[in-house]
Amino acid sequence: MSQNAAPVVPAKELSTPVHNPATGEVLYNVEHASVDEVTAAVARAEKAFESWSQESALKRGRVLFKYMELLDANREELAATLTREHGKTLPDARGEVQRGMEVVEFACGIPHLMKGEYSENVGTGVDCYSIRQPLGVVAGITPFNFPAMIPLWMFPIAVACGNTFILKPSEVDPGVSKILLRLFLEAGAPEGVLQVLNGGKTVVDALLHHPSIQSVSFVGSTPVAEYIHKTASANGKRVQALGGAKNHMVIMPDAPMDQAVEALMGAAYGSAGERCMAISVAVPVGQETADKLVLALKARIADIKIGNGTGKGVDMGPLISQKHLEKVRGYVDHGVTEGAKLVVDGRDFSAPDKKGFFMGCCLFDGVKPGMKIYEEEIFGPVLSVARVKDFNEAVDLINNHSFANGVAIFTSNGGVARQFAHQIKVGMVGINVPIPVPMAFHSFGGWKRSLFGAVHMHGMEGVRFYTRLKAITARWPEALKAEFTMPVAK
């Protein structure tokens, strides 16, 4: 088989049960699309592109303004569906919806965002200008952990630029995507501009190999991101594939310990650690700082309330599935075997009714490079403490890791913070901010094995990703004579 030949796949995969992770009950079964259904969806998107791409940017922006209003009016439905299918707490779900809406708000300014450049009289009677034009049919493949926010990071900018978009959400919590599509159509978007296809690898491969798909956006694990990038690139597509992470937080001796502990608690255990921007490694500088930090974290973890995300005052909900719960427990087992000190063991936590996919907070001390729990992304409520002697050792530790998504430093010294921001080889940096996710008008993305492809997500990077730049050089002379030499400025 040639490198970019489509793989042989079954015409239709089976359905996937969607669970409520807090109870373990099956809510419904989601049917997977077949390869033929993918082909039909692409054909609809191509047809819709013919007219949608010709609409003025102003008109496309007005659809997004209406969409923003509808998202705002239905944010509680979105958050409730998210919590029911994913398990994160309702306040966390509401925050996710809000961060997604902010990208829609950014995309409403598309008439300004797509403006080109103009240079008059670059030669005698010659003007040069550039314009941005949409790609065509584009696709997005999104993960389970942010079923509202990450789709909203992709398709609003893509369709605002004039593309049509096919969304393949995670098959384990696809309910939010169905609502996002319903509201988009209600906002006045034509049929076929946005479509949702459910499924697994069969659907993904069909999108990656379809010749009419112009670009693919992906967020998920590094092995899959690498596969998406390699396969889609081999088929001539633009790709932005965001992968895994191992985010560190440096705690300097001058950092306010109470603030650092509270920041770590939310960043490590919020959403049960199922975030690509979660802090999973604390890096205290100096033994005294480390000892104080571990004691404070251990005491604070005892106060964490774990339960159904709809419950009042709940800090942390369940993990997404029984399979993932067992995987995270396995990492903790491995950490103990490798010699790390398990200060807090949450493996045996269970809900009072013994239902759901729950796990308690885990805290390791004495974690070192080379350990599996340090090198790999766990994606669960597991925080590792890696002690270092000084600032330079902290920087070297982080810069030597294969992941480089996000990082943070807590300090009261502005000079140290500035030095850290400039020396660290990581895509997103927080200074006294534990989870440095950029706002919608900036762009999101890591370095090294946390990102495959050159372009980050949303903000102006998103506009550039979903458009092609065209430069036009024009002259309107009174009399035209053939020129047989290279044109030069006169």
Neighbouring C-beta atoms of residue 263, cutoff 10 Å: 23
Which residues of the chain are modeled with pLDDT < 50? 1-11
Which residues make Cβ contacts (< 8 Å) with residue 352, sequence separation at least 6?
none
Strand order in the sheet with 194-196: 194-196, 164-168, 137-141, 213-219, 238-242, 451-452
Instruction: Please give the pLDDT value at position 482.
Output: 77
Report the C-alpha gap between 179 and 74 in whole angstroms.
9
Structure tokens, 98:
């809000």
CA–CA separation, 110 vs 56, rounded Å? 10
C-alpha–C-alpha distance, residues 268 and 343, integer Å: 15
Tens of pLDDT, residues 3-37: 444 444 444 558 999 999 999 999 999 999 999 99
Instruction: Categorise residue 290: left if φ over 0, alpha if ψ from -120 to 50, beta otherwise.
Output: alpha
| Alpha carbon distance 461, 215 (integer Å) | 14
On whether the CB atoms of residues 402 and 375 are closer than 8 A, the answer is yes
How many Cβ atoms from other residues are within 10 Å of residue 146's Cβ?
Answer: 27
Please check whether residue 111 is in contact with residue 61, taking contact to mean a CB–CB distance below 8 angstroms: yes
C-alpha distances in angstroms, 9 versus 126, 202, 205, 209, 404?
54, 6, 9, 12, 35
Determine if residue 244 is left, alpha or beta; phi over 0 gives left, psi from -120 to 50 gives alpha, anything else beta.
beta
pLDDT at 9: 46
**432, two tokens:** 């006294």
At residue 124, the pLDDT reads 86
CA 120, 123, 126, 129: dihedral to nearest 10 degrees?
-50
DSSP 316: B
Spatial contact of 81 and 182, defined as CB atoms under 8 Å apart: no
Instruction: Please say whether the beta carbons of 32 and 203 come within 8 A.
Output: yes
pLDDT tens for each residue of 66-100: 999 999 999 999 999 999 999 999 999 999 999 99
372: Cβ–Cβ under 8 A, 6 or more apart, which residues? 331, 334, 335, 338
Domains of the chain: 16-243+450-472 (3.40.605.10), 247-431 (3.40.309.10)
Distance in angstroms (rounded) separating the CA atoms of residues 121 and 124: 6
Active-site residue 276, yes or no? yes
Please give the single-letter amino acid code of residue 389. Answer: K
Give backbone dihedrals phi and psi of 344, rounded to 5 degrees, phi first.
Answer: -130, 125
* Cα–Cα distance for residue pair 184/66, rounded to 1 Å: 9
Catalytic residue among 161, 276, 361, 362: 276
Element (DSSP H or E) covering residue 157: helix 149-160
Strands 118-123 and 126-134: antiparallel
Task: Count CA atoms within 13 Å of residue 82 on its CB side.
Answer: 29
User: Mind giving me the DSSP string for 337-365?
Assistant: HHT-EEEE--TT---TTS-S-----EEEE
Cβ–Cβ under 8 Å, residues 134 and 159:
no
* pLDDT value at residue 476: 87
Contact 135, 214 (CB under 8 A): yes
